[in-house]
Amino acid sequence: MKEVGLRGISNLALHPGQSESLKGQVPFLRDFLKNEARGTVQAVKSLRNIICHGKGEDTKVVFCSISKQLHPLINDERDQVKISAPSALGYMLHQVDKIKPGLSTRREIYTFLVPLLLSIQDNNTEVVKVSTSKIQLVGDLLSQSFGFLKSPQSFLRAAAIDFTELTAKKLNRSQIHEDDVELLQNG
């Protein structure tokens, strides 16, 4: 019964204007992220649809409010959850990027790197495939902000360097541009 209700919320978020009215359901949906696999997957899809069909700055606020609950789902022991969480994250990041993420939102995006990097070591090839593509998406979004390499905050510089190193190891070498390498060397 819970799953049917969650599916209803997910479908309602697809209708124009409904995503805004469903933002009040976010705390309720966060609680379902700790449910059995099917309920968790439906809650993730509902949150994805609320964010993906939302408009304006509130979308970033909703994303940041659920990001801490999404982290453990990326490395969950249940395969269904490990596949749906990074997939939903990708859709959410596309929407958040359209609204130009600020510094606090970018910090939230950075926090997904470690769970995604860990998940590419999974035994399930579908999990690896989904996670690898999302690491590349996170990399694409964050490469727009190489300014973190010159941040006065040492933890941000260190995270930017670690991220760049790990991403470069996983990327196709033809996707690495000389300008990016030069920027890193001069950073």
pLDDT of 181 reads 57
**pLDDT for residue 40:** 93
Angle at 177 between CA 120 and CA 160, to 5 degrees: 55
Q: How many residues does the chain have?
A: 187
- Does the residue 133 lie in any domain? no
Lowest mean pLDDT among 7-11, 32-36, 149-153: 149-153
> 120 with 132: CB under 8 angstroms?
yes
Q: Count Cβ atoms below 10 Å from residue 160 Cβ, excluding itself.
A: 21
**Is residue 172 assigned to a domain?**
no
Residue 164 is assigned to a structural domain of this protein = no
pLDDT digits (tens, 9 = 90+) for 14-71: 887 776 778 888 888 888 898 899 999 999 999 999 888 887 788 888 888 888 899 8
pLDDT at 185: 59
More confident: 130 or 137: 130
pLDDT at 73: 92
Supply the pLDDT for residue 43: 92
145 versus 52: the higher-pLDDT residue is: 52
Distance CA 119, CA 87 (A): 12
Task: Report pLDDT for 1.
Answer: 74
**Using an 8 Å Cβ cutoff, are 91 and 52 in contact?**
yes
Rounded to a whole number, what is the distance in angstroms from the first to the last CA of the chain?
54
Instruction: Identify which of 10, 12, 51 has the alpha carbon closest to the alpha carbon of residue 2.
Output: 10
Rounded CA-CA distance 166/163 in Å is: 5
The residue among 1 and 91 whose pLDDT is bigger is 91
Domain for residue 10, yes or no? yes
Q: pTM above the 0.85 mark?
A: no
120, part of any domain: no
Number of domains within the chain? 1
> pLDDT, tens digit, for every residue of 155-187?
777 877 776 676 566 555 554 556 655 655 565
145 pLDDT above the threshold of 90: no
Query: What are the pLDDT digits (tens) for 80-121?
Result: 999 999 999 988 888 888 887 777 887 788 788 778 877 888
In a domain? residue 159: no
- Note down the domain range covering 72: 2-102
